[in-house]
Chains A and B, each alone.
Chain A
Amino acid sequence: MTLLSPAERSYLRDSLTASPIIRPDSRTPHQFRPIEAKTSFLSSSNGSARVRLIDGSECIVSVKAKVVDLASVSNLVEVDIDVDSFRDDSNFVTNLKFHILNSLANFPSTVLKLTTKYGYKLFIDVIVTSHSSYPLTLISLATYLALKTARLPKLVSEVNDEEIAEQPTFADDWAESTLIQDLLDAPFQPPVLITLGIIGNNIIFDPSIEEEQIIDNSLVIGFYNGRVITPINTISLSSISNGVNSIVLVKALELGNKYGGMVVKALDTLIEQDIDDENIF
């Protein structure tokens, strides 16, 4: 990790605590770094997405559905994260997994139930091929895209298997597959996690690696259905750790409410425009 010199740290700190905030790349406080994204490039997965920042940070997510006996599993959504150069059991990876899994706690699992006995289990596998700043937001956006574009094959066997035990069978035609959204009455919107940096009384969205090193505290907020939802967590990205003051917390939630919707809208626009080809790069 790049270590900043004391002079850089104090320059950055002064710029970020100034009013108005001056970020090193001139971003407004609520501006994210630009993202490049591509969906549905893995033919062997139900859904896939690749998201990349301009600095090269990249995350690939696959969603695979597997038919399981509902009685044999405790949860229908499983998340696994692989970060280059981190052990699977490291705190870093465990925390990322915890946040993503937590954000999917309200996943509409009922749509995954095929029959009384069988259902889909979704395996969300995340690979972070490279990253500089904390990759949680990147993972969350990629997961959103992969889930939103995931297609499930159409069930052709009986839905009701209470009397006659029957293994579910599916239509071979991929064109008959459905999006998770089509199985729901309401629009399907997986929560998006946003990382906020707190410095003094200022708040910045999507801190870069340099900013991370001098902020007082970081906040992860979920955004769902047009507003900020719980859980809201503080995470420590820098060595400094000061408590979060309640005024700043309220401000952070306000900003989250105000700008979170834009992120979701941008993601949805990308899905609409994305062409169905399998070119990953």
Chain B
Amino acid sequence: MTVHSFQEHFDKKIDDEVMIEPRDWMPDDYRKTLIRQISQHAHSEIVGMLPEGNWITRAPSLRRKAVLLAKVQDEGGHGLYLYSAAETLGISRDEMLDQLHTGKAKYSSIFNYPSLTWADMGAIGWLVDGAAIMNQVPLCRTSYGPYARAMVRVCKEESFHQRQGFEIMLTLSNGTEVQKKMAQDALNRWWWPSIMMFGPPDADSPHTAQSMRWRIKRFTNDELRQKFIDVTVEQAKLIGLTVPDPDLKWNDATGHYDYGAINWDEFWNVVKGNGPCNKERLEARKKAWEDGAWVRDAALAYSKKRKARKENNKTLAA
């Protein structure tokens, strides 16, 4: 087959909704786009362990501590599935981590915001995981097989995370005045960063059109953002919290909520490294990796020795 016919074959599969698998021919840009997106997603899971991990040792009850630990551990598991999915595209985990540590690869900017109170554990689960689910559910049908299958597992767990976050907020809003205040304060701080999680508006999103064509993406950033806002505003009402957007208004004609202007300057600034925690998050990841180097070396050296001894024993036996 010529490159031209490979391309035709690939395009037909995409059009027929046949999944692309690791050994299938794929255009270079498709591969690159997927590596960028999946590794960015994996890094987000790993960096995302930090703002929540921040409260494990301070969780207010034993039950909350156990649930939070399990949740942060799940994020690590998601990172693992996603790194494995990306590896099927011909990049190693070490290479991806190197890109994270050198700043070449990005991760979701939301994790560059600080988790300041216990209510942030609620807000992160409810809003951040809630937004992630909106983004991720369509990815269960994304065109690349290993990514789609990883996302099926991720989404099952994320919906549990979202519920536990909402339940923390619900408990706080049924609590004392100071607990309600804590919940509202968390919503105030996490609302705008959460709706920015869907990425720049469609008009300014350089990758959207191609990714839609390749069926890596199924909905545009603005479509997903709107869906999230419509659902979440109703949930906020249910627990008596106020979404911090004075322009938020139901629009009968469109059947959606209208919302105020998003501060894209802030978004781009955080992406560029000027968020409140960019430095700390990256330093924490680098420190874990560097401090762990001797441990990984030891594990490798030991497994080599063991293998050599086994070979030796076999030779002796023969």
A and B interact physically: no
The residues of A with any CB-CB pair to B shorter than 8 Å are none
